[in-house]
Amino acid sequence: MANIRENFKTPLHPVQMQILNKLVFMPKAKFSDLKIKSLTTDHFTYHINKLLDLGLIAKENGTYVLTEAGKKFVSIMDTERAKHEQFGKRSVLLRAVRERSGKLEYLVYKRLKQPFYGYYGFHTGKVRLGETVVEAAIREFKEETGLDMRHYELVGVYHQIGYKPDGTLLRDVYLYEFNIFSYTGEFIELNKEEGVENKWLTKEQLKGLPVYPDFWNKKFKINWQNLPQRYARYKKLEQMGQWINIPATLKGEQIATEARIYFAETKKFIKEW
């Protein structure tokens, strides 16, 4: 598939998008699981057959599943609105950490939707139009975990561009990386609406689990030596009453362009690149 968009120059029907959206959250589904109540059986069957013909879904042992092409297709969908996203997205990466019995635990989630069903990783979310990266981080963390960010920091901006072996562009995204050190609220372990199962795990426990590509890459996602140091630094400043969060008014464009970080001990912008 040279380019997933080039194969669908005519947008899919909204019903077909809804069917794909349902299959994002389950490995397989029966016809009755996918059926939209407002449609007749014949009308709905027509849209199922269209997706089968396009190669986005397949029928296996009486159930429907996403094909590899279907998984690539839904990876560029906005599952909240069942519409396509544009490349060049802005997203937040949220790394919450806590200390229990002398060990650091990291808040990760098990993904309960396609693609990467069953994989573990840190929470991420899209920055909406007109929303600052801090506002996006606060909103996404609340939506997925039920928790409100209290003490946090922005530690970097990472531009990720992914390609297929043949050189075709797959994704283009700016990740604004947040460390979250304290929070309030009621923790949600199983969030079916968001398709995630949240867990606090140590580094050792994570090593035996299926994780996203680049999860252990120090240049991306997390620096396993640096994050404990950042947490210790936070605890020291918090005890001294000197911790200051990044300002909520900070615009994403400012950070992406200038690659600056707001540090509590200096109370000004300094470069860390």
Tens of pLDDT, residues 62-121 = 999 999 989 888 876 765 554 555 546 788 999 999 999 999 999 999 999 998 999 999
What kind and span of H or E run contains 229? helix 226-239
pLDDT for the residue 266? 34
| Dist CA 120 CA 109 (whole Å) | 5
CATH 3.90.1150.10 describes domain 86-264: no
Report the b/e string of 49-87 with b at 16+ CB within 10 A. ebbeebebbbeeeeebbbeeebbbbbeebebeebebeee
Q: Is the pTM of this model over 0.85?
A: no
Beta carbons within 10 angstroms of residue 252's beta carbon: 19
Q: Where in the chain is the domain with CATH 1.10.10.10?
A: 13-83
Tokens at residue 150, please?
């209290």
Sequence ranges of the chain with CATH classification 3.90.79.10: 86-264
CATH code given to domain 13-83: 1.10.10.10
**Average pLDDT in the chain:** 81
Q: 27: cis peptide before it, omega within 30°?
A: no
Q: What local confidence, expressed as pLDDT, does residue 134 receive?
A: 87
Instruction: Give the range among 62-66, 135-139, 214-218 with minimum mean pLDDT.
Output: 214-218
